[in-house]
Amino acid sequence: MNALHENAPADVRAHHDFDADASSLEGTADAEVLAELRSIRGTIDNIDAALVHLLAERFKATQRVGVLKAAHGLPAGDPDRETAQITRLRALAASAQLDPEFAEKFLNFIISEVIRHHVAISEDHRRQDDDAS
Ligand SMILES: C=C(O[C@@H]1C=C(C(=O)O)C=C[C@H]1O)C(=O)O
């Protein structure tokens, strides 16, 4: 593999450093089976990269919500909004042959992290207000 330029962006570096063929399964099955496995894993790797970028964009948006809420004294969580989101995502999951239970758990996992961020943003905001007065 060619050496990377020292200023290569982090995403290029991550891709460069990734051993897409890393596996504990070498020698456990026929070469054709392992070749097919490698090919399917290429798709999995593309999807995982897209998921990371999608989540990064989602968290950028929720950070903005956190700042807005903190500036206006709004609570971190919004249970009615969450209920509506979960109902929608469960239905979308079912129609896409994804387990709705998994979709709900996944969304709740993300939302609990978002709420943790919002609480931290709100505490920072309050501390800054206290320091200024
Ligand atoms: C992002 C928000 O804050 C919280 C996080 C949510 C989310 O991650 O989608 C949804 C509702 C809130 O509990 C919001 O109120 O829109």
pLDDT digits (tens, 9 = 90+) for 76-112: 999 999 999 999 999 999 999 999 999 999 999 999 9
Report whether residue 114 contacts ligand 1, using a CB cutoff of 6 Å: yes
Intervals of the chain under pLDDT 50: none
Distance 63 CA to ligand 1 centre (A): 10
For residue 1, the model assigns a pLDDT of 54
Length of the chain: 133
For residue 27, the model assigns a pLDDT of 86
- One-letter-per-residue 3-state SS of 25-76: CCCCCCHHHHHHHHHHHHHHHHHHHHHHHHHHHHHHHHHHHHHHHHHCCCCC
Report whether residue 115 contacts ligand 1, using a CB cutoff of 6 Å: yes
Domains and CATH numbers, the chain: 10-132 (1.20.59.10)
For residue 3, the model assigns a pLDDT of 84
